[in-house]
Structure 1
Amino acid sequence: MARISRKSIDELRQRADIVALAGDYTQMKQRGRDWWGLSPFKSEKSPSFKVNPETGLWYCFSTQQGGDAFKLVMNREGLDFPESIERVATRFGFKLDYETGGDGKNEKSFRGQLLEIHELVTDYWRRCFLEDPVHGEWIREYWTQKRKFSLEVADDFGIGFAPVDDSKLIPGLLAKGYGKDALAQTGLFFGVDRVPDPLRWRCRFRGRLVIPIRDIQGRVIAFTARTLDITPQDDPSREAKYVNSPETELFKKSRTVFNLDRARMTRKDADPFVLVEGQLDAIRCHSAGIPGAIAAQGTAVTEEHLQQLPRFTQRLIVFLDSDAAGQKAALRLLPIGLREGLDIRFLSLPGGKDPDEYFSTHDAAGWAGLVTGARSAMQFCVQSLVPEGSVNLPLTSRLSLLETIFPIVEQAGAEEIVREALNEAARHAGIGIREMHMAYERHRAQSQAQ
C-alpha cells in the first residue's frame, strides 16, 4: 500500500470535527468548552469521555485512553493507523494524497477496498431491483404486494435484487481494478477456495431480495437475502429462508446491530431503542413511525450487541416474536441487559404475531398503547419462569423454580428492583415474602462463596 502523504494527514487532523466523530460512537453534550459523553469503550452510567474541539483531542477517564481523531477510530474500531486515516477521510469527505501519486485501488487499504466493493455491489443490486429486464417487475411486485412495503422504503434502505444471471457482477468489479483476493474476502461468492478463475465463481445471493447491513457509521459491510420462488434450484443454499454474508474482516455477526446507524440519529433523546428479531421487522417498525427499531442478526443477542446501546440511551424495549423461540431469546438477553445497566421492558403482541405482521396493517398511532402494556424486566422474568399456576406445585418444585430466577434478579443491582422481583415471585409461588427473601440471601451467600 502506498504511503499517505504527511501533508494530507496533518491537514485532515486539523479539519476533522472531533465532536462529530465522537458523536458517531456516543451521545455528546457540551459543558463549557468541552463535550462529554459515556465511554465508547466500556459500559458506564456517568459520562467519563471528554472531547475538546479546540485541541482536537479526547480523553476517556474510565479507560485512561486518549488521543486525536485517528486514535479514536483506531481504538474504537480496531483499525491500524493508515486505515483509521482513510476512515476519517471518508467520514468528512476529504480526498487523501498518496506519496506515489493518485488514489487508485492499489493504494487504498485492503479494508477500504472491501468497503468500496460492498458499496458498488449495493448500487448495482439497487439498479437491478428497479431495472432488471427479466425479474424487475416481479421483484417490485413481491416487495409492494406480498411484503406490503412501499418503493420509497426500498429506496430508503437500499433494498436490492441479486439477479439470477450473475454473469456481469464479477467482470464489472475486476474492470474497476479490484483484485481476486479482495473479491474473495468479501464473502459474496461461492467457489473461491476451489476454483482459481474468479469468472467462474457464483454469487452467494443470486435470485434473492437483498438487504444491506450497515455498520454504525452507515457503511455497507454485509448483506442478508430472502430466498424467493425464482431463486435457482441449483443454488447450494436454496432451502434456507434467509442467506447471510459470512463473517469477514468487515462483518462480525456478534457485534453488528442492524439499523443502529439510522436509529441512533432519528430517535428522540427520550425514546428507547426497540429491539426486534429480524431486519424486515426493523424496517417495518421504522417505516411505521418507530425510529428506534434495531435488530440483532437473528435471536442470538450478545453482550457486544447490547454494550453499544447505553452510549445513546439506557432505555430498551424488547419486541421479539411472541413464539417460543422469541421468548427464549428474550430470557437469554435479560441478564446481559441488566449487567449493561439497561432499563429493559418486554413487549409481546397478541395472537403470536411478529412486528412485521402487526405493522403491515397498523401504524404508530397505537404504539403508545402497546408500550403502556410492556412488562418490566422483573415482571417478565418472574412471569416467564414462575408462572401463575406455580402455587399448585409441590413445595420442592416451587423452590426449584425460584432457583432459576435468582441469578437473573442478582444482576438487577438496584435494591428496589430486587425487592419488586422477589415479592412478585413469592406471590406466584405461594411462598411467604420473608421466606423468599431468606432464600435469595442464601443464594447470594453461596454465589459469593464460590
Structure 2
Amino acid sequence: MISKNTIDQVYETARLEEVIGDFVQLKKSGSNFKGLSPFTDERTPSFMVSPVKQIWKDFSSGKGGNVVAFLMEHEHFTYPEAIKYLAKKYNIEVEETEQTNEQKEQANERESMYLVSEYAQKYFSDTLWESQPGKAIGLSYFKERGFTDDTIKKFGLGYSLDEWEAFTKSALDQGYQLEFLEKTGLTIVKEQTGGESRKFDRFKGRVMFPIHSMSGRVLGFGGRILTNDKKAAKYLNSPESEIYHKSKVLYGIYFAKQAIAKEDNCFLVEGYTDVIQMYQRGVENVVSSSGTALTPEQIRLINRLTKNITVLFDGDAAGLRASLRGIDLILEQGMDVKVCTFPEGEDPDSFAKNNTYEDLVLYLEENAKDFIQFKTSLLAEEAANDPIKRADTIRDIVHSISKIPDRIKKEVYIQECAKIMQISEEVLYNTLAQIDKKGAADTFKKQNQEQKAFEVVKSDPVTEKVDVQFELERKVIEMLLLYGDQKQEFEDLVLKENDEGDLVLEPETVEAKVYEKVFLDLQEDEIELANVNFRAIYYKLIEELNAKEEFTVNSFLSELDQEIVGEVSSILMEEERYTLHDWERKDIYPKAKGQGVAQLVGETILTLRCNLIKTRIKKLQLDTEGKNGDNSEILEEIVNYLQLNKLLNAKLNRVLS
C-alpha cells in the first residue's frame, strides 16, 4: 500500500499539462490547452486540458479526469502504478508498506507480465555488464557499433547467455511463475511424452533490445544473434501477448517523445541500431517500426506528437519500393511526409556514426525531399523511356495523392506532379476524380452490404427526451465545484399573503457562501438528489467545503474514487467544449462563466423546485384516478401546488400554458 502522505504529495506536485504533454502535443487555447485525442483517430482537436482545474476532457471519446485518471486510461496503469510513475517523474520518494504474499498473488495477469518483462530487462542488463560471456560477446558487440556506456545503459541493452535455460532458471528461482514467462514469450515450454515439459530460453545467445511503451514500461524484446547460424533468424522479437502488440508499438518512442513534440518532426528509421546511433549523435526525435511494415496504429502514435514525419531510407532499391506503401498510409492520416535517402552503402546507423551532429543535421535538412518529389524522381528513373511504365508511374503517384484528405494539398501536389512528369493537369485531375469515384463507390457498396446484413424493420424515430432532473442535479454539482466557497448576495423568496389575501413571493436579501445557500435550500425543501453518483459527490462536496478553509478541485478529486473522477471532470469541462471553436475569431464573445453566480444559483434552485412540484402534481393526479370517494383534500393540494408553481415560474420569467 502506498502511504496517503505520498499520494497527497504526488497530487500537489504533479502538473497535468506537463504529464499529458509527454504523450500528446498540446497547444495553448486561452487559459487551457488543446490537442488531438489520444483515444480516437481524429484530425480536429477535441482534447482539452485545464491547468487551473488540473483536469482534462476528451470530447470525442467522452473520457476525462485528473492526472492519475489520464495515466490509467492512456497507459492502462493501475492506480498504484500511476502514482509511482508520477512520483518517479517528480522525484518523490514512495512510502509504502510491504506487500503480503496474498496481495502479490492478487496482482492481475497483465501486471504479472509487466513484472516478468521488467525483471528480464534487468537480468539481461546485469548479464551484459557482470558476466564474462556478457562482457566478451555482448558488450564487445555494442562497443563495435560505437555505443557508449551511457547509451547502452539508457536504452537498457543486454545479453542473453548462450545456454538453454539460464534466464528461465533464474526467473523461477526468484519466484516468477512459469505461466507468465511463457505468456510473455521469454520462455518456450514444450510438452514431452511422459507428462514432463521442457523449458528453454527464447533469446538464447542474443544481444537484447528492450521495447518500451510510451510511458517507459518494458513490453517485449528484440534479440540479435551474433553467430553465423544460418538456421536461426538474425533478429527475433517477442511474440504477440497481452502487453505487446508489435503493430501498435514504435521502438524508441519513450526516449523520443519529448524531442518529437519539441522539434515538431519525427524521423522514422528501420532498425534498433539506427534509432540508438542517431539518438547518441544528438538527433533524439527518432523512432523505428522495428522491422515490421508500418501500420496505421504506429502512425497515429506519432500523430499525437507531431504532424510531420521524415522517413529515412538507405540506398536499397527493393527496400525503397516496399516502404513507399508506408508513405501512402502516412498521407492517409493527414500527415506531412518527407523522405531522405543516404548515399549508397550508408544507412542511418553508419551515417550517424561516421559524421558529426552538425553534419548529420545539415545532411537531413538539405536532402529531405517532399514525398511527391521523391516518389516522382524515383519512379520516373525506373520508367525511363518506356511509355507504359511511365503511365503506370503517373497513375501510382496520383493514387498516393488521392489518399490526402486536405483538398488544397491535393491540388498543390497535382500541379507539382504535372510539372515534374510533363503532363497536363487536366489529365491528372480526371485520373484523380476516377480514383476518388471508385473509392467512393467501393465504400458505398461496402456500407450497403453491411446495411443489408443488419437490416431491421424501420419504425418511427423516437426523439430522446431530456432528463430535466438529471441536468438540474448536474448543474448543482457544477455550481458547488466552481463557486462553492464564494460568498454572494442572494435573493431569498418568502411566501406571504398580501392585503388582498393572495399568496405572493417576497424577496429578501441574504449573504452566504454558495454551498451554504444550496445546502439549506435543498434541506428546506427535503430534496434528495436522485442520481446515485451525484448524491455521493454532493455530500462529499458539502463535507469538504464545510471542513476546509481553502477548497481546491485538485485536492477534492484526489479523495474520490477514479470512477467518480471521470464524472466530475466531465461536469467541469463541459463548457470548455465551446472554446474549441474559437468563437472570438468569429467576433462572437460568450459571457464569462463566473458572471452572475448568485442569479445562476437562484434560478437553478427555483427550476429544481418547479420540476419537483410538477412531479408531485402528477403523482397526486394519479392518486385520484379510479377513486370514487372524496378527493377534495387531494384536489386542494393540487391547486395549491399549481398556484406555487405559477408564482415560481413568474419569478423565472416563464409563461405557463
Structure-2 change in CA distance of 1:391 and 1:322 (3 Å): closer
Please list, as runs of the form range in 1=range in 2, the aligned pairs for 1:15-30 lying within 5 A after superposition: 18-29=16-27
State the SS of the aligned residue for 2:247.
coil
1:320 aligns with 2:313: yes
Shift of 1:159: 1.1
Partner of 2:333: 340
Shift of 1:352: 4.1
1:439 aligns with 2:431: yes
Shift of 1:449: 3.9
The CA deviation string for residues 94-132 of structure 1, in whole angstroms up to 9 with x for no partner, is 56779x967853132222222122122211211211121
1:117 aligns with 2:109: no
- Give the Cα separation in 2 of the matches to 1:449 and 1:184: 47
For the aligned residue pairs, the C-alpha RMSD in angstroms reads: 3.2
Please list, as runs of the form range in 1=range in 2, the aligned pairs for 1:63-212 lying within 5 A after superposition: 63-69=61-67, 71-77=69-75, 79=76, 84-93=78-87, 104-145=103-144, 147-165=145-163, 167-191=165-189, 200-212=198-210
- Give the Cα separation in 1 of the matches to 2:248 and 2:238: 14
- Give the Cα separation in 1 of the matches to 2:51 and 2:185: 39
Partner of 2:524: none
Pick the structure with greater CA Rg: 2
Partner of 1:406: 398
Partner of 1:426: 418
Shift of 1:299: 4.2
The aligned length equals 433
State the SS of the aligned residue for 2:241.
coil
The CA deviation string for residues 171-210 of structure 1, in whole angstroms up to 9 with x for no partner, is 3322333222122212101225559767x41111121111
- Give the Cα separation in 2 of the matches to 1:388 and 1:55: 58
Shift of 1:260: 0.6
State the SS of the aligned residue for 2:116.
helix
- Give the Cα separation in 2 of the matches to 1:332 and 1:58: 36
- Give the Cα separation in 1 of the matches to 2:339 and 2:15: 38
Shift of 1:297: 2.0
- Give the Cα separation in 2 of the matches to 1:148 and 1:14: 42
Task: Compute the TM-score of the two structures, normalised by the length of structure 2.
Answer: 0.60
Please list, as runs of the form range in 1=range in 2, the aligned pairs for 1:359-374 lying within 5 A after superposition: 359-366=352-359, 367-374=361-368
Contact kept, 8 Å, 1:42 with 1:307, in 2: the verdict is: no
201-210 vs 60-69, which deviates more?
60-69
AA of the residue aligned to 1:177: G
Contact kept, 8 Å, 2:331 with 2:404, in 1: the verdict is: yes
Task: Compute the TM-score of the two structures, normalised by the length of structure 1.
Answer: 0.85
Shift of 1:39: 1.2
The CA deviation string for residues 290-314 of structure 1, in whole angstroms up to 9 with x for no partner, is 1111000214000000001122111
- Give the Cα separation in 1 of the matches to 2:62 and 2:155: 38
Hey, which of these two has a bigger chunk of helix by percent?
2
AA of the residue aligned to 1:331: L
Structure 1: segments with no counterpart, 5+ residues: none
State the SS of the aligned residue for 1:239.
coil
- Give the Cα separation in 2 of the matches to 1:65 and 1:135: 47
Shift of 1:26: 0.7
Shift of 1:166: 5.4
327-336 vs 26-35, which deviates more?
26-35
Structure-2 change in CA distance of 1:53 and 1:113 (3 Å): farther
Contact kept, 8 Å, 2:166 with 2:201, in 1: the verdict is: no
1:417 aligns with 2:416: no
- Give the Cα separation in 1 of the matches to 2:209 and 2:120: 12
- Give the Cα separation in 2 of the matches to 1:433 and 1:34: 44
1:309 aligned residue (302, 316, 321) = 302
Contact kept, 8 Å, 1:8 with 1:97, in 2: the verdict is: no
The CA deviation string for residues 274-328 of structure 1, in whole angstroms up to 9 with x for no partner, is 0000111111111111111100021400000000112211111100333134312
Shift of 1:31: 4.6
Please list, as runs of the form range in 1=range in 2, the aligned pairs for 1:252-331 lying within 5 A after superposition: 252-267=245-260, 269-331=262-324
AA of the residue aligned to 2:376: V
2:238 aligned residue (224, 245, 256) = 245
- Give the Cα separation in 2 of the matches to 1:445 and 1:164: 58
AA of the residue aligned to 2:249: T
AA of the residue aligned to 1:49: F
Contact kept, 8 Å, 1:226 with 1:242, in 2: the verdict is: yes
State the SS of the aligned residue for 1:191.
strand
Partner of 1:48: 46
Contact kept, 8 Å, 1:43 with 1:310, in 2: the verdict is: no
Partner of 1:215: 213
State the SS of the aligned residue for 2:209.
strand
- Give the Cα separation in 2 of the matches to 1:429 and 1:37: 38
Contact kept, 8 Å, 2:273 with 2:349, in 1: the verdict is: yes
- Give the Cα separation in 2 of the matches to 1:358 and 1:371: 14
- Give the Cα separation in 1 of the matches to 2:325 and 2:246: 17
- Give the Cα separation in 2 of the matches to 1:312 and 1:171: 41
- Give the Cα separation in 1 of the matches to 2:186 and 2:410: 48
Structure-2 change in CA distance of 1:151 and 1:101 (3 Å): closer
- Give the Cα separation in 1 of the matches to 2:181 and 2:190: 9
Shift of 1:23: 2.9
The CA deviation string for residues 206-260 of structure 1, in whole angstroms up to 9 with x for no partner, is 211111110101111111111012x8x7xxx952111111111111010000111
- Give the Cα separation in 1 of the matches to 2:362 and 2:246: 31
Identity rate of aligned residues, in percent?
A: 26
State the SS of the aligned residue for 2:255.
helix
Structure-2 change in CA distance of 1:327 and 1:340 (3 Å): same
Q: Which of the pair has the greater relative contact order for Cα pairs under 8 Å at 6+ separation? A: 2
1:382 aligns with 2:382: no
Partner of 2:453: none
The CA deviation string for residues 341-379 of structure 1, in whole angstroms up to 9 with x for no partner, is 211100001114211122221122122233222110222
Contact kept, 8 Å, 2:225 with 2:235, in 1: the verdict is: yes
